[in-house]
Amino acid sequence: MNKNFLKIVTAFTLIGFSACKKSDPTPAPTPTPTPVVIPAINVYACGTEKSTNGLSDKAKYWKNGVETTLNASNSAEAYDIVVSGTDVYIAGSETSGPTTSNAKYWKNGVGTVLPGAADNGEAKKIVVNGNDVHVIGNQFGITDFPRYWKNGVAVSLTYTGSLVSANGLFVNGTDVYISGYEEQTSGIIRALYWKNGVRNYLTSASSTSSEEATDIFVVGADVYACGTEYLPNGTTKAKIWKNGIVTYITTGAGVNSAAFSIKVVGTDVYVGGYDELGGLLLAKYWKNNTSATVGVLPNESFVTDIFIFGTDVYTAGNSRATSSSINSEGIVWKNTTPTSYSNGTLRNLFVNSVFVSN
């Protein structure tokens, strides 16, 4: 048989087979994945830039590092910041004359002077609970005594002595807790807290050490407070009270420590303050009495406020080259990573409070 004929028949057979073969189905389009939207985290802080003469201090706050000054010409300080929805509240003080300092708070930059503390008064802590604005502070003069305002109206606190202070504030439903201290006739200062205006002492009446409760936090029926004990030998010890029972904070080799801020998340207790190492103050926070160092030697440093957001620990505070330095660097630490708010300039800046939200 002719080989060329076979090649032609084979070619036509393959062509016919190919023509009869079913075409492959069109593949289904790959669905476009829905992007995961991660909410932005906003870090707010407030503090004060100190002037050399003390007569033109600037109250400031920051949102994600962007600085805003609250006062134009008078001297002012900012101590505490909270955010409720889109509103930013800051507690502090501002002068209205050479010897008069007014307790006040700012809402979105607009100041409100609080009544009854016009003579060297200050607003130290602020809590917004629903539509209610709670503020505590102090008035200074011949006697120093605490102040508490709810929606701008002064509410009385029971106290005795001429040296009394309100330091910390927590609102739990309709209950208002305020931590502080009160001097006794013996000269011993007793740590205490007020619950709805009624005193609850944390320091025993027979104590030979003075103490103050610097902050307070409430979970259910449990009342936590932190503070500092001042021993007769001149040393200090940071401590925690839970329902009046004391736990001393574990410290290093130094003889002095202090606690300024406390937060509780679940069963975890966080405290911010300082420990002493080599004669220098070192900024730290403690989680369940285990320390994390945020300050860096040889600078002196301390933590003034602590805030927990998810699994991250934010602390606000300060660092300075030596204890006699006139310049302080305002810092917010995320876990142990610092962010300086001094913007690379040499100035006496204190960051007193931090708040984090979406």
Could you write out the DSSP letters of every residue in 178-217? EEEEEE-TTS-EEEEEEETTEEEE-S-TT-SSEEEEEEEE
pLDDT digits (tens, 9 = 90+) for 29-54: 676 766 666 678 999 999 999 998 77
In this model, does residue 175 exceed pLDDT 80? yes
Distance in angstroms (rounded) separating the CA atoms of residues 192 and 174: 20
What pLDDT does 93 receive?
A: 95
Q: Which tokens hold the place of 113?
A: 């002077």
Distance in angstroms (rounded) separating the CA atoms of residues 264 and 140: 31
Distance in angstroms (rounded) separating the CA atoms of residues 86 and 77: 22
Predicted confidence band of residue 159 (pLDDT cuts 50, 70, 90)? very high
As a whole number of Å, the end-to-end CA separation of the chain is 86
Cis peptide leading into 39, omega within 30 of 0?
no
Predicted confidence band of residue 25 (pLDDT cuts 50, 70, 90)? low
Distance in angstroms (rounded) separating the CA atoms of residues 333 and 255: 25
In this model, does residue 75 exceed pLDDT 70? yes
3-state secondary structure of 140: coil
∠ at Cα 101 (77, 170), nearest 5°? 60
Range 190-209 burial, b when 16+ CB lie within 10 A, else e: bbbbbbeeebebbbeeebeb
Residue 267 gets the label, from left (phi > 0), alpha (psi -120 to 50) or beta, of alpha
In the DSSP assignment, the letter for residue 144 is B
Average pLDDT score over residue span 263-281: 95
Judge whether 144 and 122 are in contact, CB under 8 Å: no
Return the higher-pLDDT residue of 25 and 290.
290
Judge whether 178 and 171 are in contact, CB under 8 Å: no
Average pLDDT score over residue span 127-133: 97
- Number of residues that this document lists for the chain: 358
Distance in angstroms (rounded) separating the CA atoms of residues 302 and 4: 98
In the DSSP assignment, the letter for residue 30 is P
Average pLDDT score over residue span 222-236: 96
Q: How many CA atoms lie within 13 A of 47 on its CB side?
A: 31
Instruction: Name the burial class of residue 210, with classes exposed (0-12), middle (13-18) and buried (19+) by CB atoms within 10 angstroms of its CB.
Output: buried
In this model, does residue 127 exceed pLDDT 90? yes
Instruction: Name the burial class of residue 219, with classes exposed (0-12), middle (13-18) and buried (19+) by CB atoms within 10 angstroms of its CB.
Output: middle
Average pLDDT score over residue span 341-346: 79
pTM: 0.88
Radius of gyration of the chain (CA): 30
